[in-house]
Structure 1
C-alpha cells in the first residue's frame, strides 16, 4: 500500500506547483490511503516558516559548491533531538549529468554541506512514536508518507527560490532506504521529475 500511496505523492509534487495546494493535496491523499486521526495532527504545519528556513539554508550551501551538478537530500528521522538536531543531510556531486536521469552519483557524493532541520517535521515527530494513540501501521505509514511528502515540497521550493546558475539533478529520500528523483535544471529549464524514478522507471 505504501508504494501506491507514494506514487500519488510524487505525482502531486510534479503536477501541483503551488506549495500550499500541494501540501493540502498530500494530506487529502493520505486520508484516502489510510483512515486515521493521525492526519489531523498535520493540518497546522507552519509551511511558510519551513520554506523560508530551508531556502535560506540551501542558498547558503549551494553558493559554496558552484561546480555541483548533483544534489542529494538524505532524510533522517532519528536525529531531530526535540527540535535541536537535523533531519536533512546534504551532499553534492560533480559527476552527475543532469540531462541523464541516473542515480549512481548519489551513492558517492564528493562534497557535503551542513545538515538542516525542517522544524515542522520535528514538531510532529511525536506522532511517529506515540504507541498509546496510534497503531504501528498508522505510525509507520504516516512517518514514511508524510515525512517524504512534506520534505519534498519544502526542498522543491527551496531549490526553486535559490539563486544559482548551474544545471543540476536533485534526489531526495531516506538515506538508509528509498531514494527518489525530485527536480532538475537541464539546459536552463526547471523540471520537477519526481514521477520518473531510477528503480521503477
Structure 2
C-alpha cells in the first residue's frame, strides 16, 4: 500500500509538471490502492488491529464511493481541480500512514519523526481531502441526477426501489457532521501517540 500510494503521488506530480490531465495518469494505481483499503475494515472487524471498525468503515466507504461511485461513473468531473487536490491529499496522508504500519509490523522502535508524520499530516490534509471529496461529489450531482446510474425503480419482482442520486445527496449532507467527528477522533489519536518533550520529561519523573 505504501508503494501503491507512492506511485499515485509520483504520477500525479509528473502529470502536473507536464500539464497533463491528472486523473487518467493516476486512475489505475488509485483504484487499486483505495480498493485495497477494504482490508482495513476487515482487519478492524475481525479484531486483527485495534482500530475502530466504525471510523474505519466511514472513511474507507466514503473514499470508495468517490473512486467507484463518482469518478468511475461520471467522466465529466474527472478533470475538476478538486479531483487533483483530493488525490494529492489522500496520497500525502496515506504514504506516511502505511509506512508507519510497515515499520511497526517489523520493529518496536518506530522513528519519532515517522510517528509525528503519521499523526500530524492529517491536520492540513484531512480538511483539504474531505473538502475536495465533498466538492467533487457536489459537482457530479447534476450528471447523476440526469443519468440516474445504479438506480432501481418499481415495479419489479422484489418490490425494491433505490435512487442513487438521493443517496449521493445524503452522503454529501453527512459530510457536515462527519468531518468534525473524524477530525476530532484523529486529534485524540494524535494526543495519545505524539508526546511533546515536556510531556516526556514529566512522565520520566
Q: TM-score range by the shorter chain?
A: under 0.3
TM-score (norm 1): 0.27
Higher relative contact order (CA 8 A, sep 6+): 1
Instruction: Identify, as 1 or 2, the structure richer in strand.
Output: 1
The structure that is helix-richer by fraction is 2
After TM superposition, the score normalised by the length of structure 2 is 0.27
**Max Rg structure:** 2
